[in-house]
Amino acid sequence: MTHRVSEREQGETAGALQSMRSITFIIGPVLFSQTFSWFIDPKHSVHMPGAPFYLAALLLFTAMSCRRGSDNRNEHERGQRVEYHSDVVPTSGVIPPEL
């Protein structure tokens, strides 16, 4: 993420990401527990205890699709592909794929 924004904007980016993370920590447990309770309730015709996992997969697929679309749009606007610096090691331990 730090390669995509200027040094000035890194604090704002980190703050925005932390805000989104906090919101998801509030919404996530409520959303998935309500989904689970609805799908295991005997008064409903559909009994699927794994529904929260299907919902998580759907949300992940949607996020990946949106992310991929934004990458294509940004590359088209700039007319170039995003370059990663090979001498910088990400702190998460995940090495970005070669583009």
- Mean pLDDT across the chain: 81
Question: CB of 41 within 8 A of CB of 33?
Answer: no
Helix-then-strand count for the chain, H and E:
2, 0
pLDDT below 50 — which residues of the chain? Answer: none
pLDDT, position 6: 82
pLDDT, position 41: 94
pLDDT, position 51: 96
pLDDT, position 5: 78
Q: What is the DSSP letter of 70?
A: H
